[in-house]
Amino acid sequence: MSLQFLLTALVVVVAPGTGVIYTLAIGLGQGRRAATMAAVGCTFGIVPALLAAVLGLAAIMHTSALLFQVVKFAGVAYLLYLAWQMLRDKGGVAVRAETRDRADRAIARRGALINILNPKLSIFFLALLPPFLSGNPAAATAEMLGMGAVFMGLTFVVFMGYGVFAAAARDKVLSSPRVVRWINRGFAAVFAGLAARLAMEKAT
């Protein structure tokens, strides 16, 4: 596995996206344990896209406008749902000054859905992985799975870093109810913006 692939994957993972925003919101709103579950969910949400790329299903989605649109707008709807949860200050992703226990599986499930409902992710793997293959057809599947596993490992580590940072900042920034409201509005705006960006994505 080349250093070039590791650096490329790291740049992709570090770049702020929907999963990063979700993990930051969970860490800031509910603490380190919840942020860990958010990172776990976002990481395992990569598995379907990776398998789709390895099995060639991403290519089918890439050429099927209907299938791409169905998955895309399911993702848009889910991001808008998360934005609404933030604005309500009552949803499972809302930032709160007080600590409340949340079901770990629910937090992880939301994180996983963010990536599962992103139709560009499998196509991204289909574009990212092949250039780093050795050229041996017999080893291609194993190599893609190996690189995908490394990508997932980097995702978990980086997202945990974001989550731990947000959890550490929790007590300092959540002392004011007004600050909490504006943080929720800010995250809601970000989720809505990501939904708008996803809505404009095309399969080609």
What pLDDT does residue 161 have?
Answer: 94
Positive/negative CA dihedral, 17, 19, 186, 175: negative
With cut-offs at 50, 70 and 90, classify the pLDDT of residue 3. Answer: confident
37 pLDDT band (50/70/90 cuts)?
very high
pLDDT score recorded for residue 124: 75
> Which of 16-30, 55-69, 182-196 is the most confident on average?
16-30
Mean pLDDT of the chain: 78
Question: For residue range 61-118, what is the model confidence (pLDDT) as tens digits?
Answer: 556 666 667 766 776 776 777 777 767 655 545 555 545 555 788 899 999 998 888 7
State the burial class of residue 201 (Cβ atoms within 10 Å of its Cβ: 0-12, 13-18, 19+).
middle
Residue of 203 and 86 predicted with greater confidence? 86
Which pLDDT score, from 0 to 100, does residue 112 have? 94
If pLDDT is split at 50, 70 and 90, which confidence band does 1 have?
low
Task: Report the alpha-carbon angle 131-135-139, nearest 5.
Answer: 105
Rg for the chain, CA atoms, rounded: 18
Which tokens in the block code for residue 121? 């992710």
Give Cα separations from 95 to 8, 17, 84 (angstroms).
Answer: 32, 18, 13
Q: Which of 171, 58, 167 is nearest to 119 (CA)?
A: 58
Residues 6+ apart with CB under 8 A from 154: 6, 9, 10, 13
Render pLDDT for 143-182 as a digit per residue (tens, 0 to 9): 888 988 999 999 999 999 999 988 888 767 665 666 667 6
Q: Note the pLDDT tens digit of each residue in 110-138.
A: 999 988 887 777 777 877 777 787 767 77
pLDDT score of 47 more than 90: yes
Does this model's pTM top 0.95? no
Provide the pLDDT for residue 5. 83
pLDDT at 22 over 80: yes
Structure tokens at 27: 């860490």
The pLDDT score that the predictor gives to residue 151 is 92
Residue type, 130: P
